[in-house]
Chains A and B, each alone.
Chain A
Amino acid sequence: MVTHPRPRGTRLLVVALVSLSLVIITLDYREGSTGPLAEAGRWTQATMAPLQQAVWTVTRPIGDFFSGLAHLPSLERENADLKTQVANLQADLAGRSNVETQLQTVTDLLGLKQQLFPDGVAAVVIGNGVSNFEWSVTINKGSDDGIEVDQPVVAGAATTPRLVGRVTQVTSNSATVQLLIDQNFAVAGRLSPTRATGLVQGRGEQDPEMDGIPQDTNIDITGDQPVQVFTMSYEINGQHGRYPPGILIGEVSSVIQSTNALETAVTIRPAVDFASLEYVLVLKTAASQEGNGG
Chain B
Amino acid sequence: MIRRILSLAAVVITALLLQSTVFGQLRLLGVRPELLYLVTISIALLEGPNEGATVGFVSGLAQDFLMNEPKGLTALTLTLLGYGVGMFRQFIVSPSPLVPTIVVGIGTAAGIAFYEIVSVLLGNFHEDTAYGVKVALLTAAYNAVLTPILYPLLRRITEGSRPRRVVRF
Interface residue? B57 (CB, 8 A)? yes
Residues of B within 8 A of A60 (CB): 21-22
Interface residue? B2 (CB, 8 A)? no
**C-beta contact mask, B50-78 vs A, less than 8 Å → 1, else 0?**
10011001001111111111111111100
Taken together as a complex, chains A and B put the C-alpha atoms of A36 and B22 apart, in Å, by: 30
Instruction: Say whether A129 contacts B24, CB under 8 Å.
Output: yes
Residues of B within 8 A of A37 (CB): 71
Nearest Cβ on chain A to B34's Cβ, whole angstroms: 7
**C-beta contact mask, A36-59 vs B, less than 8 Å → 1, else 0?**
010011001100100110011001
Q: Which of B21, B27, B54, B122 contacts A17 (CB 8 A)?
A: B54
Residues of A within 8 A of B13 (CB): 51
Instruction: Say whether A132 contacts B32, CB under 8 Å.
Output: yes
**C-beta contact mask, B20-54 vs A, less than 8 Å → 1, else 0?**
11111111101110100000000000001110011
Q: Contacts A22-B72, A25-B72 hold; do A17 and B66 have CB atoms under 8 A apart?
A: no
Interface residue? B18 (CB, 8 A)? yes
Nearest Cβ on chain A to B136's Cβ, whole angstroms: 9
Instruction: Say whether B71 contacts A24, CB under 8 Å.
Output: yes
Number of interface residues of A (CB under 8 A): 57
By size class, the interface of chain B is 35 or more
Instruction: Say whether A13 contacts B25, CB under 8 Å.
Output: no
Q: 8 Å CB contacts to B: which residues of A115-131? A: 126-131
Q: Which of B26, B89, B125 contacts A1 (CB 8 A)?
A: B89
Among B49, B67, B75, residue most surrounded by chain A Cβ atoms (within 10 Å): B67
Q: Contacts A45-B66, A132-B139, A134-B69 hold; do A63 and B26 have CB atoms under 8 A apart?
A: yes
Q: 8 Å CB contacts to A: which residues of B5-29? A: 13, 16-28
Interface residue? A288 (CB, 8 A)? no
Among A48, A70, A132, residue most surrounded by chain B Cβ atoms (within 10 Å): A132
Closest to B18 in A: A55
Residues of A within 8 A of B57 (CB): 17, 20-21
Q: Which residues of chain B have a CB within 8 Å of any CB of chain A?
A: 13, 16-28, 30-32, 34, 48-50, 53-54, 57, 60-76, 79-80, 83, 87, 89-90, 92-93, 112, 119, 122, 125-127, 131, 135, 139
Could you show 24 A-B contacts with beta carbons less than 8 Å apart?
Answer: A14-B79, A14-B83, A17-B53, A18-B79, A21-B75, A21-B79, A25-B71, A25-B73, A44-B65, A44-B66, A52-B21, A55-B21, A59-B21, A60-B21, A62-B22, A66-B25, A67-B26, A129-B24, A132-B34, A132-B139, A169-B68, A176-B68, A205-B30, A205-B131
Pick the 10 closest A-B CB pairs, nearest first.
A128-B24, A24-B72, A205-B30, A21-B76, A25-B72, A63-B25, A44-B65, A59-B22, A28-B71, A70-B28
